Chain A
Amino acid sequence: MKFKDYYEILGVGRTATADEIKKAYRKLAHQYHPDVSKDPAGEEKFKEIGEAYATLKDTEKRAAYDELGRHPSGQEFKPPPNWAGHQGGQEYSFEDVDFADLFASFSKGRQHSQQQRHNMPIPGQDYELATQVSLEDAYQGITVDLSFTVPEYDDQGQLRRVPHTFKARIPKGVTNGQKMLLRGKGGKGFHGGPDGNLYLNISFIPHKLFRVVEHDLFIDLPLTPWEAALGATVKVPTLAGEVNLKVPAGTSSGQKLRISKRGMPKHNQEHGDLYAVTQIVVPTDLTDKDRELLQALAGSSTFNPRAHF
């Protein structure tokens, strides 16, 4: 494991008072907390800040941390033998242990005897995972593989990071940003403590054709000027195959033509709608014949779209 200088992370001296540590934490929390800050790196930074504060604000944990001595941040590190948190005489591999886990069993007012730690129920942690699915997969429903590593207590009461893999069925009807819960699939509890939960945040991979709003889909529908003016039947792709759409005569740009029940499925077996948003597109490469016809139309038509100017 790598050493972390918690005093450096909080920007305080090693002799900082509890008050100074609290003030430093609050300032950094406002700056980096993921629920408050827009900094994209905030979540990672706050994790370190939170760890540092959780250790230094607790007198027992702070004492155990200070006992480790000063080391450069990021340096490979192992607690010395007979360190406060070490079970006497036994050798442990710290490869799978996160630095913060060293102090997990300390708490103010609680004795850190081996026996007491062994008998205490420890609830498992909740975890959040994000997964992305394609629109096509969300439309059909899909089974996804979820892999993550969680800390679990071994028989000696030491924390180890253990990988887990789950297959989870994402049913039809999810929306972009849907959140779901897997009960008891988070970190393992210990000594009768309940297992944590796993929260899954589902988002859609951006689609090259469709935009999603709740259960409705939107697709841009390019039309020629003559299709828009005269009306036409055009083929429109949907997630369940192509459909023929009748474009009424006199259609302008920006109109939404509704294709009923061709959106995303809802959880109650119904479907949202697909809206084709018209865009009149003008050819940039005119043949002589095209130009002649358009000039004739320009000369004979009395249509004035700027009459209101």
Chain B
Amino acid sequence: MQIDQTELIWLDEHHEVSLDELIELSGLSQEELHHLVEIGALTPNESIEGHGITKDLRFSSQCIVSIRTLSRLKHDFELEQNALGLMLVFLERIRNLELQLSVFNPTKQ
């Protein structure tokens, strides 16, 4: 058995990841992530200047949760790239609705 003291990385709106980190963590390709940014389904923290998409883009680490779900759905349901954008929009919408719902049904014993 290995016992290790380990630091945690927050997945929330206060922390950021780079495009390279998002590629590594999400399981989606650079092309697929670029596609999501281009169609506006995934919004980087910094604005895109000029033409094209640079590697300097940073994203809220909170998006890792939805993007990983998207990657899992893409793999498990063998989805085409075109479906990914729509899927991500709906995943984010569900996440926001669940958050709003938790206001009316907070945790209590």
Contacts and interface: CB of A to CB of B under 8 A. Distances in A.
A240 to B, nearest CB: 19
B11 to A, nearest CB: 4
A56 interface: no
Contacts of A206: 107-109
Nearest to B102: A213
A207 B6 CA distance: 28
A207 B103 CA distance: 16
A180 B10 contact: yes
A267 interface: yes
A241 interface: no
Interface stretch (A61-69, A70-78, A160-168, A223-231): A160-168
A157 interface: no
Contacts of A194: 24
B3 interface: yes
A176 B76 CA distance: 28
A255 interface: no
Interface in B27-86: 61, 64-65, 68-69, 72-73, 76-77
A183 B9 contact: yes
A180 B8 contact: yes
B5 A167 contact: yes
B73 A35 contact: yes
Interface string A137-151: 000000100000000
A197 B25 contact: yes
A190 interface: no
B78 to A, nearest CB: 8
A181 B3 contact: no
Contact of B8 (A50, A168, A218): A168
B12 A178 contact: yes
Interface in A157-215: 163-171, 175-183, 185, 194, 197, 199-200, 203-204, 206-208, 210-213
Contacts of A167: 3-6
A200 B8 contact: yes
Interface residues of B, number: 30
B97 interface: no
Contacts of B73: 33, 35-36
B8 A35 contact: no
A23 interface: no
A171 B8 contact: yes
Contacts of B12: 175, 178-179, 267
Given A207-B107, A208-B109, A179 B3 contact: no
Nearest to A147: B1
Contacts of A212: 106-107
A26 interface: yes
A10 interface: no
12 contacts: A33-B76, A143-B5, A164-B1, A167-B5, A178-B10, A180-B9, A181-B25, A182-B6, A210-B108, A218-B106, A267-B14, A268-B14
Which A-B residue pairs are the 9 nearest by beta carbons?
Answer: A211-B106, A206-B109, A180-B8, A179-B11, A181-B9, A211-B108, A208-B109, A213-B106, A168-B6
Interface of A: 26, 29, 33, 35-36, 46, 50, 126, 143, 163-171, 175-183, 185, 194, 197, 199-200, 203-204, 206-208, 210-213, 218, 267-268
